[in-house]
Amino acid sequence: MKRLVLFAAMLSLLFGVQAQHSCGKNCQNKGNGQCCNQAKTETIETLSVEEFSRRMMSKNVVLVDVRTPKEFAEGHLKGATNVTWGNDFESLWKAAGIKQRYTVAVYCRGGRRSKAAATALVKKGYKVIELEGGITAWQKAGKPVEK
């Protein structure tokens, strides 16, 4: 009998922890499997050059280059806004004034900075698409850049 009670208690604890975990760090479980402040869990879509090229043309997409201003000046995708990934990304992002109703199409040189920026933006509630291989892959595919 003690084993059965212990087993039931362990299962209860295990499922309780799992239910709370599924609600995210900043959300408390109501006890009925729902979160009081259910966070929208978007994912980052990493797209090939061709798919990114098609999707960035949509009206509801804002194109963002997260490289340095120097890199941006050397060549960027037409219509891109430069918001440098780094320590002051938060303030630069606020200054850019990009609303959450837009999908953010983000890229960098090779993909590392854009992945980090995309992760930060998803946490803020943005829908994000990312260019696989960055502007390097874009140029290898023969796509245009402007200066």
Read off the pLDDT of residues 73-103 as tens digits, 9 standing for 90 and up.
999 999 999 999 999 999 999 999 999 999 9
d(CA 3, CA 95): 60
Determine the pLDDT at residue 25: 39
What phi and psi values does residue 48 have, to the nearest 5 degrees?
-65, 165
Read off the pLDDT of residues 1-18 as tens digits, 9 standing for 90 and up.
555 444 444 444 444 433
The answer to whether residues 105 and 46 touch, using CB atoms and an 8 Å cutoff, is no
Determine the pLDDT at residue 30: 39
Determine the pLDDT at residue 43: 87
Determine the pLDDT at residue 23: 41
The verdict on whether 36 is a catalytic residue reads no
In the chain, which ranges are continuous DSSP H helix?
2-22, 49-55, 69-74, 89-96, 112-123, 134-140
**Residue 64: partners with Cβ closer than 8 Å, 6 or more residues away:** 80, 81, 82, 83, 96, 98, 104, 105, 106, 107, 117
Determine the pLDDT at residue 98: 96
Residue 76 C-alpha from the chain's centroid? 20
Read off the pLDDT of residues 7-55 as tens digits, 9 standing for 90 and up.
444 444 444 433 333 344 344 443 444 443 334 446 899 999 999 999 9
Read off the pLDDT of residues 96-138 as tens digits, 9 standing for 90 and up.
999 999 999 999 999 999 999 999 999 999 999 999 999 999 9
DSSP H or E stretch at residue 64:
strand 61-65
The answer to whether residues 135 and 77 touch, using CB atoms and an 8 Å cutoff, is yes
Determine the pLDDT at residue 16: 40
d(CA 56, CA 54): 6
Determine the pLDDT at residue 1: 53
Rg (CA), the chain: 21
